[in-house]
A and B are shown apart, each in its own frame.
Chain A
Amino acid sequence: MTTLRILGGDPPPCGTVLVSRQWPSRLDLKQEVLDEIAATLSANALVGEDDHPWLCLCLDEALVNAMLHGNEGDPDTPIDIEVAADGDRWYVTVSDRGTGFTSSQVPDSEDPESLLLEHGRGIRIMSEWLDDLTYYRSGATVRMARRRSPTGEPLPPLDALRQKDGDHAL
């Protein structure tokens, strides 16, 4: 599990850019965006079939957060998407035009009361699968990164990961 980091500046350059483009903040186009990113990563052999449920979930979270929360659902306000690769590591960076957020706005998954909340699980789930999840521009840009999984790699031992110390509880 990666640690939630929210930094102030712009994200640093990372690897070779495969896709860089803008999309309107329209949820009806979300699936199209998601499929294009997934197809780019698949075409470059950076994700395998087993990765797809997690990849789609992480991309879905990032896109919904950027479109709905960052850009407040304004279809005329675009989001910026960059897909990059460095060796066997891929990066997807999504930026909105909002003001970001603070870690205090993310429910603490260790708090028993958060168990019954109907929202706030997205970052927790993303952190579980990604190697790195870092927010820049005070939360208005998210960069997701993960190394390509070897074929047949088993899912992470979740109970062990949950007990890993030193990580911020998401």
Chain B
Amino acid sequence: MPCDFLMVQVYDKIVLAKVMKERLLDPASIASLSEGLSELVDRHPRISLVIDAADIGYLSSAMLGKLVALYKAIKVAKGRIAMGGVKPQLMPLFKVTQIDKLMPFFNDAGQAVTEFRRSPL
């Protein structure tokens, strides 16, 4: 079942996935988003994935774990991932867990798309 709060746009070979949900705490939402993002990795070989996280206000460590799993899948597929628009109050979560060392973070998703366009895979 497709994730009903994930809006996907493709620019050339760059996939922009906007998460349109504030709370990512319940297992169903986390599983749905994780599956939706994994499908994108399967569908787009060597994906350049930008996650627009501007709407996210709450997330759990389970969601962070899913993000790490996604990162690993993308690495295996020789793709890349970036985060855009993470709220300043959430950024410490990514720093504390060192997920900011796994992928680049941009102030907004547009910057991430621009950066990926500048350096195609």
Taking CB as reference atom, which chain A residue is nearest B60? A60
Let me know if B27 is at the binding interface, CB within 8 A: yes
Name the distance in Å between A52's Cβ and chain B's nearest Cβ.
7
- The CA-CA distance from A116 to B98 in the complex, in Å, is 10
Name A's interface SS: helix
Q: Which residues of A contact B87 (CB under 8 A)?
A: 53
Chain A window 106-119, contacts with chain B (Cβ cutoff 8 Å), 1 for yes, 0 for no: 00010000011111
In the complex, whether A14 has a CB less than 8 A from a CB of chain B is no
Q: How many Å lie between the Cα of A145 and that of B72 in the bound state?
A: 35
B residues contacting the other copy or chain, number (CB 8 A): 28
Partner-binding segment picked from A26-34, A39-47, A132-140 = A26-34
8 closest A-B pairs by beta carbon, nearest first, are A118-B65, A122-B61, A121-B61, A60-B60, A128-B96, A121-B97, A118-B69, A56-B58
Q: Which residues of B contact A (CB under 8 A)?
A: 23, 25-27, 57-62, 64-66, 68-69, 72, 87-90, 92-93, 95-98, 101-102
Q: Which residues of A contact B (CB under 8 A)?
A: 27, 30-31, 34, 50, 52-54, 56-57, 60-61, 64, 109, 115-119, 121-122, 124-125, 128, 155-156, 158-159, 162
